[in-house]
Amino acid sequence: MNNSIPQPLAAQPVPGGLPLLRLGFRPFYVGAALFAVAVMALWYPIFLGQAAPASGVAPVLWHAHEMLFGFAAAVIVGFLLTAGKAWTGLPTPRGARLGALFALWGAARIAALVAPYPVFFLLDVLFLPVVAALFIALLLRAGNTRNLKIGAVLALLGVANLVFHLAASGAITIDPVRALYGALALIIVLETIMGGRVIPSFTMNVTPGLKLPNAPRRDAVAIALTALGLACWTFNGPRLLCAVLLAGAAVLHAVRWLSWRPWVTLTRPILWILHLSYAWIPVGLALLGAARMGWLPPSAGVHALAVGATGGLIIGMLTRTARGHTGRLLTVSPVETLAYVMVLVAALVRVAVPIAWPSLYAPALLTAGILWVAAFTIYLAKYTPWLAAGRLDGKDG
């Protein structure tokens, strides 16, 4: 008689270590949401001149840098350290190693506010290259060449951050805003790559009988035009060329988005937030093209991409991946839906009001900031206990 434990039960590892440090999404999602609240709450008094970063970075540069290299980068790193495990079948940093990466990210965020500039510089420029090296090494060990381009984007974000710091400190004579534009461009390109993978897939998975068309050539051209148009904009290329490239990319992304049939997701907030957020990409590209021709201020396109597309996709993926990786149903409650609406309305207010009513710029900034803070406060209140605890199904991760 065989008294051994059945194989399916024996094969299940016992989760170990602090739950918050078992997989990359856990600390970085909590940290990113907390930072999203903190940095926006601080931005309005800094904007009014009532406070200033001790690092000496100009207020507008601090705000843009921390939203890109603090908030967005944390979400990207948390997502990739989680997805990398699924893509390769190999372990990603956990426990003390994951805690050290998170501590480095957090230390740089604090240093930006309270430390002398050299301390901020050193801590901040280390984070992305370290993560990029870990992620690319993971892909190479697994022979996963398909995702090396994502690792390359992560490495280029590290380069853009270094260029920003060299420019901001006067070590090189370029406008540091150009490095921030480059970072936003890289993030948008990453969103077009990942959005094309997950949004139609998620949509088909929950819509019986739905078969969305696969158009790899169109998508490749759309992504290439996006990269070229945003590069032209970043490096201050010829006005007409930039505008044409950005307009072409906007049209192709609009066609791409419509081919995903976003209207079928209207009863599923966890899906429509991804669709509506992606729709900000063609809008933002078109606005940047118009700005390049001198018809609009650049901030309209920048915030369409940074708040509408990036903020919306982030709040959508923060909820979806956190639910999936903690063993919960992929449905959201009315309070999470409210957070989605708040981020999208914040984007609309931040982009549209200064264009239509320039005299209301300051109230629009305050209103959008309040909506943003409220949305991520909702996320923190609901998801932090889940991310700090083990999975509902008892599995590791």
The yes-or-no verdict on residue 9 having pLDDT over 80 is: no
- Report the distance separating Cα 369 and Cα 357, nearest Å: 18
- pLDDT at residue 99 tops 80: yes
Picking from 351, 280, 288, 354, the residue whose alpha carbon sits closest to that of residue 314 is 280
In the numeric block, which tokens belong to residue 342? 């708040």
Q: Where are the alpha helices (DSSP H) in the chain?
A: 7-10, 25-47, 59-65, 73-88, 95-114, 117-142, 148-168, 176-205, 216-234, 239-259, 269-292, 298-303, 312-325, 334-356, 361-387
Residues 347, 349, 225, 222: what is their CA dihedral angle, to the nearest 10 degrees? Answer: 60
In this prediction, residues 70-82 reach a mean pLDDT of 97
User: Residue 5: pLDDT above 80?
Assistant: no
Q: What is the pLDDT of residue 17?
A: 84
C-alpha span between 30 and 26 (Å, rounded): 6
Per-residue confidence band for 1, with pLDDT thresholds at 50, 70 and 90: very low
CA 176, CA 164: separation in Å to the nearest integer?
A: 5
Asked if residue 237 has pLDDT above 80, the reply is yes
Band of the pLDDT at 381, cuts 50, 70, 90? very high
DSSP annotation of 310 reads I
Query: Across residues 356-377, what is the average pLDDT?
Result: 96
158-197 per-position pLDDT tens digit: 999 999 999 999 999 999 999 999 999 999 999 999 999 9
What are the pLDDT digits (tens) for 318-340? 999 999 999 999 999 999 999 99
pLDDT at 100: 98
Per-residue pLDDT reduced to its tens digit, 112-164: 999 999 999 999 999 999 999 999 999 999 999 999 999 999 999 999 999 99
Buried-exposed string 171-195: b where 16+ CB fall within 10 A, e elsewhere: eeeeebbbbbbbbbbbbbbbbbbbb
For position 6, what pLDDT does the model report?
Answer: 37
Collect all residues with Cβ–Cβ distance below 8 Å to 231 and sequence separation of at least 6: 185, 237
Q: What is the average pLDDT value for the chain, to the nearest integer?
A: 94
Q: How confident is the model at residue 352 (pLDDT cuts 50, 70, 90)?
A: very high
pTM of the model: 0.94
